[in-house]
Structure 1
Amino acid sequence: MTNVREAGRRYLGTIAYHVLPPVLALTALLIVWEAWVRLRDVSIFLAPAPSDVWLRFIEDPRFFWGEGGYTLYEATLGLLVGSAAALALAVLISHSSLAERSIFPLAIAIKVTPLVAVAPVLVIMLGFGTTPKVIVAALLCFFPVLVNAMTGFRDVDPKALDFMRSVRASPWQVFWKMRVPSSLPYLFAALKVAYPLALIGAVVAEWFTGDRGLGLVIFVANSQLDTATLFAAIFVLASTGVMLNALIYLVERRVLHWHESFRTL
């Protein structure tokens, strides 16, 4: 019983260690924001108070979460497509220097291409469905997954690599037994960056579709100077990003419990 209580206290302490600081920081920010708007009598058309944003959100929370769920669906598909393409190319690059010299410059070109220039072209080519938004999200999350996967596949202990070669392990055995495990910390780090980027890509693509999603809500609210709705949509988007990051962290702890970065947690 004592061990169970001790484990429970340790678990609650870990949660408090990670959760309390951002909660307190956010609370302080909201208090300052509310006070600034009220004391300076700022027009709601310029900057709504947090209380105004909250009242707008609770008027129709199902609407905001519904649109947020649709954007999350598009972003998730984009993440899967972009990550699959990035991992496939990273595997190819890890086995061929020629592939790296051929593919990596193209990946950099994709990275530096302005998203707002690509989205309208994709909408014209593919229509107003889900496909162009998924492609935009995939393009945005492709590069961080590619770079981290390449780095992870190469970050292998040289002594362990020499041992595998000494027992005449095949290249694919070396890849699955050595390179894939060494790449997992890098891939989880990439996901923490790529998933929010996929959300951003989906939102930007929704500006040009006139279909649905948080991007459309933000676009319409901005054009109508409905700042309360605008900030409520941003609140849902930000909350989704935070929850996704927390989910990835929990999965990472479960999968990488053996890694040195989690041994002291």
Structure 2
Amino acid sequence: MTDTLHSVAPTARAGMEPAVRRALRANRLLAPVADHMPAILAIAGCVMLWQLVVWAFSVPTFMAPSPIAVLSAFRENGVILWNNLLPTLLEAAMGFVSGNLVAILLAVWFVYSPLAERAFYPIAVIIKSIPIIALAPILVLLVGNGIAPKIIIAGLISFFPTLVNMVQGLKSASPAMLDLMRVLSASNAEIFWKVRLPASLPFLFAALKIAATSSVMGAIVAEWIGSSYGLGALIIEATYNFRSPLLYATVVIAAALAVILFFVVAIVEKKVVRWKPGNHG
């Protein structure tokens, strides 16, 4: 009898393993949905309220189309939306990469050269204080009406948050760790890669998440100034032609693009950053 039980048990366990694996896989897939369920429900509630208000007060479509009308605009103008999404995505991505790369390099320079920080940091603040909508036509005059001014605007709007956070992050390295590395005769490069850079990563990714959404806004604002393509140009065209469903659909696409870029940075952050400020030591 014992031999029979021993022969059956492995077979039963083998039969259960696929079910257990499926259950674990389902849990991993459902966990993110459960985490974001409050936000999903809140958004669904807002959309339902929007639809009810439009129905109840008979709001004209040219003023505020219903969610159903916006969905119809997605279906009827899918090709137009897609063709204008790609240029904005390219501009935002290139501006995000270039602006943040320059900000990171400047932050490293400022940390290792206090004189450079005192000289050039105020200039960065002055540039940040100029409204983007005012810079756009100046850049169009300087570099033309192609893709260049859009990338520059997206880069500028991504630049300042990363510069500020990266400088703060590089300076947040533990003084005890810095002293220990110096006692061990570590070079500046070793101190940077092993102490300063790891300490700065939480600050950097906090800025990158802001820059990811801001770069989309910068690209769209730049497209308002004399562009014939992109989501920004489509917003202007839909507004002037009173195509409110298309206007709302374009705004939804722009917001979705910004959210996607935000979550891409957040996913990379989870892979790279293993600690948060205040959770170490």
TM-score, scaled relative to structure 1: 0.93
Which residue does the alignment assign to 1:147? 164
> Which letter maps to 1:131?
A
Q: 1:241 aligns with which of 240, 245, 258?
A: 258
SS of the equivalent of 1:208 reads coil
TM-score, scaled relative to structure 2: 0.88
The ranges of structure 1 where at least 4 consecutive aligned residues each deviate by more than 3 angstroms after the TM superposition are 1-10
CA contact (8 A) 1:128 1:211 kept: no
Deviations 1:115-140 (A, max 9, x none): 11110111122111100111111111
Change (3 A) 1:260 1:210: closer
Q: 2:140 aligns with which of 109, 123, 141?
A: 123
Does 2:133 align with 1:112?
Answer: no
User: Take 2:158 and 2:140, find their aligned partners in 1: how far apart are those partners?
Assistant: 19
Structural mapping, 1:135-214, within 5 Å: 135-214=152-231
User: Take 1:25 and 1:196, find their aligned partners in 2: how far apart are those partners?
Assistant: 21
- The CA deviation at 1:177 is 1.1
User: Take 1:13 and 1:55, find their aligned partners in 2: how far apart are those partners?
Assistant: 30
- The CA deviation at 1:19 is 2.4
SS of the equivalent of 1:203 reads helix
- The CA deviation at 1:88 is 1.1
Which residue does the alignment assign to 1:259? 275
User: Take 1:187 and 1:114, find their aligned partners in 2: how far apart are those partners?
Assistant: 24
- The CA deviation at 1:99 is 1.2
User: Take 1:85 and 1:244, find their aligned partners in 2: how far apart are those partners?
Assistant: 19
Count of aligned positions: 261
How much identity, in percent, do the aligned residues show?
Answer: 37
Does 2:263 align with 1:216?
Answer: no
CA contact (8 A) 1:83 1:141 kept: yes
- 5+ residue gaps in structure 2? 1-16
RMSD over equivalenced CA pairs, Å:
1.8
Which residue does the alignment assign to 1:79? 96
Q: 1:40 aligns with which of 32, 36, 57?
A: 57
Which residue does the alignment assign to 1:226? 243
- 5+ residue gaps in structure 1? none
Change (3 A) 1:22 1:110: same
> Which letter maps to 2:251?
I
